[in-house]
Amino acid sequence: MMKLTGYSLPASSTPIYLNILKKHSIFSSNIFQRNPTKSRGPSTYTQKDQVLADAVMVAGQYLPPWFSVAPMMDWTDNHYRTLARLISKHAWLYTEMLAAETIVYQKDNLDRFLAYSPEQHPIVLQIGGNNLENLAKATELANPYHYDEINFNCGCPSPKVAGHGCFGARLMLDPKFVGEAMSVIAANTDVPVSVKCRIGVDDHDSYNELCDFIYKVSSLSPTRHFIIHSRKAMLNGISPAENRSIPPLKYEYFYGLLRDFPDLRFTINGGINCVDEVNAARRAGAHGVMVGRAAYHNPWQVLGHVDSVIYGAPSSGITRRQILEKYQVYGDSVLGKYGIKPHVRDVVKPLLHLFYSEPGNGLWKRKADAAFQNCKWLPTEACEISLPIQETAWMR
């Protein structure tokens, strides 16, 4: 046996989930199969990357999700995704989590929640919920918006979600339901489906229990892609922010899954903050890497290197001044689109980190704040987006 951070993982090549199979009866094969895996991988990828590329069903026009930006509540909204896409053409973007009930109950106002510009492709819709009927309806209602993948949230530790809402990370305790939910979601869409989860919940945090979850979900549904946040979720006693730092990272669980489930695809998430670490994880075998707050708080340094360093694409050469000019056009087009929303500060929020940790960052934030201090609600002639973008070295 090989000891890893207090846990015993088999060092042999025998998949650990074979031990789990001895404890369970054969799972039902009565699942919806409207969403078979399709192979459309471009032949230009290396042999190592071809396994992932073959599984990507995106009409051949997008590169595989080797790098993605994590779904983050109140952060990865339309405004941030617009900025992110101006910086990187190939990073996969995720929406904020949308509750299935929100989509169903707002069916006459869906643009406010689901609409996005075509430039945001490739983009993944993340939904959450614990009601199969609403998950089916929400997926069907989202179809006209042509997302490239539907992701199911099994990792959020927020008390509003995992507590009173009884979904998010809490669903890892009921893999049978998650398998049924993924079957229902897959049956109502023609795009791939995936699950984002933690490595465990509270005291249910052994590697065997994680394998049990992965095995049951993948056996009961067409799910072949799992995004693994390599920390467990603690649902009692700590906040969502503390859940991103207090539970230790256990990357050995993730790499164990790569070995023990060779027919599935796994994206690693948690504690990865720069493109060098992304490439290191991919060299270690990760099919994809998801970055969260680092991509939000430091978008230029993180996203600005994704296309060239991770995807091998030529650098666009775009400057931050040009990004701001393009973003200004976007901002002017969306102010007050839904009554008093979005207002100026909603639109400007993602820009405040564009010069993170660089000389002049404080000056940028002060000038941006001063430019919008009189702009609270509706777009008027006195409240146009006039960004302080005079030419200085730190704007490049």
* Location of structure tokens 């969260």: 292
Query: Does residue 127 register a pLDDT over 90?
Result: yes
**Nearest C-alpha neighbor of 128 from the set 159, 96, 80:** 96
Query: Does residue 393 register a pLDDT over 50?
Result: no
Same domain, 225 and 342: no
Query: Does residue 42 register a pLDDT over 70?
Result: no
Same domain, 290 and 331: no
Same domain, 129 and 223: yes
Dump pLDDT digits (tens) for 99-126.
999 999 999 999 999 999 999 999 999 9
Mean pLDDT value across residues 20-28: 31
pLDDT at 118: 95
Same domain, 331 and 282: no
Least confident segment among 48-52, 65-69, 85-89, 342-346: 48-52
The alpha carbon torsion through 114, 75, 389, 309 (nearest 10 deg) reads -90
Same domain, 270 and 226: yes
Dump pLDDT digits (tens) for 353-371.
999 988 888 888 888 777 7
- Average pLDDT value over all residues in the chain: 82
Dump pLDDT digits (tens) for 288-316.
999 999 999 999 999 999 999 999 999 88
DSSP 381: G
Query: Does residue 392 register a pLDDT over 90?
Result: no
pLDDT at 369: 76
The CA distance from 140 to 301, in Å, is 37
The CA distance from 82 to 171, in Å, is 31
Largest Cα–Cα separation, the chain: 70
Same domain, 297 and 248: yes
**Nearest C-alpha neighbor of 90 from the set 141, 134, 42:** 42
**Nearest C-alpha neighbor of 110 from the set 120, 102, 122, 118:** 102
Identify the CATH number of the domain in which residue 306 sits.
3.20.20.70
Residue 95 domain-assigned?
yes
Confidence class for position 43, pLDDT limits 50, 70, 90: very low
Residue 129 domain-assigned?
yes
Same domain, 215 and 324: no
Residue 160, domain extent: 60-311
Query: Does residue 3 register a pLDDT over 80?
Result: no
pLDDT at 235: 85
The CA distance from 202 to 50, in Å, is 37
Query: Does residue 131 register a pLDDT over 90?
Result: yes
Last residue of a domain, one of 250, 280, 311: 311
Active site residues: 156
Dump pLDDT digits (tens) for 196-250.
999 999 999 999 999 999 999 999 999 999 999 999 999 887 788 888 888 999 9
Same domain, 307 and 331: no
Give the whole-number percent of the chain exceeding pLDDT 90: 63
pLDDT at 47: 38
Last residue of a domain, one of 273, 289, 311: 311
Last residue of a domain, one of 311, 346, 368: 311
